[in-house]
Amino acid sequence: DQQVKQNSPSLSVQEGRISILNCDYTNSMFDYFLWYKKYPAEGPTFLISISSIKDKNEDGRFTVFLNKSAKHLSLHIVPSQPGDSAVYFCAASAMTAGNKLTFGGGTRVLVKP
């Protein structure tokens, strides 16, 4: 049973437009959430995170929104650039689980020029 789900396996967006990636979770103990980006033949790299005490965190073109009541988070990329084409993973952790991260299945983003 996947505790973190990314229901869209792929997303295609025009350069300059907004990319919205969604992630749902079931474990109410999760209190810290992260997004990672992965290019082919490379390891994932950290992108942005959010604590459950916040509902929004912004870093340049990347904004993560957290809706605790809906157990839902989203990543907005504005404006999208061709270099953003990658697989994006959301991940969650719970204080009771220490440093363990639970990952979603990933969303492949293609930004078209």
Partner 1 sequence: DVKVTQSSRYLVKRTGEKVFLECVQDMDHENMFWYRQDPGLGLRLIYFSYDVKMKEKGDIPEGYSVSREKKERFSLILESASTNQTSMYLCASSLGGRQETQYFGPGTRLLVL
- Whether omega before 40 lies within 30 degrees of 0, making that bond cis, reads no
Give the one residue of 30, 104, 109, 111 binding partner 1; rule: CB under 8 A: 104
Nearest Cα to Cα of residue 61 among 45, 42, 47, 44: 47
Q: Please give the residues from 2 up to 41 whose contact with partner 1 meets the rule CB under 8 A.
A: 2, 4, 6, 9, 32, 34, 36, 41
What are the Cα distances from residue 60, in Å, to 1, 49, 90?
34, 13, 18
String of contacts with partner 1 for each residue 51-90, x by CB under 8 A = x-------------------------------------x-
Among positions 11, 20, 101, 110, the unique one binding partner 1 when judged by CB under 8 A: 101
